[in-house]
Amino acid sequence: MMPMNPKQMKKMMKQMGIEMDEIEAEEVIIITKGEEWVFKNPSVVRVTAKGVETFQISGGYEVRERLVISEDDVRLVMEEAGVSEDEARKALEDAKGDIAEALLKLTEE
């Protein structure tokens, strides 16, 4: 098969009902239950075929741990330490979700 220039390829795809658009994205974040996949300056292409959109993301990324702190934990720390919601949430974030450690830090001060 002979190589096809990009213009011809795009024309053929359009005839088949496939459209491709490049999206100028600065950052893409995929959030899972325990992680965040962060793509900085990615190449993002939206492909539409038969009414279905799909996205292709490529480029460098980093995976970060995602800390999920429940509202129940925040309320518990607030009540036990007698602090505001913001203080309780910050203490839990600093303690990576460990309630006992957050309480110790707040009551030592």
Is the pLDDT at 18 greater than 80? The verdict is: yes
- Write out the residue range of the structural domain in which residue 60 sits: 17-65
Q: Are residues 58 and 87 in the same domain?
A: no
Question: Does 99 reside within a domain?
Answer: yes
Number of domains in the chain: 2
35 occurs within a structural domain = yes
Q: Is residue 44 part of a domain?
A: yes
Task: Identify whether residues 81 and 103 lie together within a single domain.
Answer: yes
Whole-prediction pTM: 0.63
| Count of beta carbons in the 10 Å neighbourhood of residue 47 | 14
Q: 48-88, pLDDT tens digit by residue?
A: 998 899 999 999 999 998 888 999 999 999 999 999 999 99
Query: What is the DSSP secondary structure assignment for residue 46, as one 8-state letter?
Result: E
On whether both 60 and 81 belong to a single domain, the answer is no
Name the strand (E) or helix (H) holding 14: helix 6-15
According to DSSP, the residues that pair with 52 across neighbouring strands are 49
Q: Write the CB contacts of 78 (distance below 8 Å, at least 6 apart in sequence).
A: 84, 85, 87, 88
pLDDT value, residue 15? 86
Q: What is the pLDDT of residues 20-30, one digit of tens each?
A: 899 999 999 99
Element (H, E) at 29: strand 27-31
Cα 65 to Cα 6, 31, 36, 59, 103: the distances in Å are 40, 10, 6, 20, 23
Produce one character per residue of 8-24: b if its CB has 16 or more CB atoms within 10 Å, e if not.
eeeeeeeeeeeeeeeee
